[in-house]
A and B are shown apart, each in its own frame.
Chain A
Amino acid sequence: SQKIEQNSEALNIQEGKTATLTCNYTNYSPAYLQWYRQDPGRGPVFLLLIRENEKEKRKERLKVTFDTTLKQSLFHITASQPADSATYLCALDRGSQGNLIFGKGTKLSVKP
């Protein structure tokens, strides 16, 4: 069955540094991959979607890469701020009806 792993459960960094989060998947070849942000007690909020034929995608301070050979996506937040502190979820489209498989998430803490 398809598996997604987000290698770090938690990541602590200093404000202003770049946060890099990793998502690995197995037994699947997704056409695209998505990243979401989840705050405590709230629903996931969409951040970025990257297609299999795109190596990299950017949105403001966010950057996502997608390596289909390594079966890996990296998610970067540059010039991180305390407000970026949240859990970041990687998600793949699995079924024919667009349901998502989520990783367990990486909890990012940005210290001032």
Chain B
Amino acid sequence: EPEVTQTPSHQVTQMGQEVILRCVPISNHLYFYWYRQILGQKVEFLVSFYNNEISEKSEIFDDQFSVERPDGSNFTLKIRSTKLEDSAMYFCASRERQKNTEAFFGQGTRLTVV
């Protein structure tokens, strides 16, 4: 069964450092997303990406964040200067169509900022 894969599974970084989280969405999917989940909290939408550009972003997704699809398979989330409050699980997701279909989530990257 096709799946979304994320690397690394766990990343520890110093405050102020840049991190790049990587995702390989399902190959025939067109819509890509990043979500995050702070420990004990709900899953929160960060950004959606379609046709090689950001289609929607939440208020969490400020100038410190960026996304890229550098080739036909990878989808990355970059945090330029990490803060302690960026510590969370980050999930990549993809959907075949915009609506009326399920989202497939990766297993997540646990980001710990120290």
Contact = CB atoms under 8 A, between A and B. Distances in A.
B100 A51 contact: yes
A99 B33 CA distance: 7
B95 A41 contact: no
B96 to A, nearest CB: 10
Interface in A19-59: 31-32, 34, 36, 38, 41-46, 49, 51
A102 B44 CA distance: 7
Interface in B20-47: 31, 33, 35, 41-45
B108 A97 contact: no
Interface of A: 31-32, 34, 36, 38, 41-46, 49, 51, 89, 93-105
Given A42-B107, A98-B97, 6 more contacts: A42-B108, A43-B4, A49-B100, A99-B48, A100-B35, A104-B41
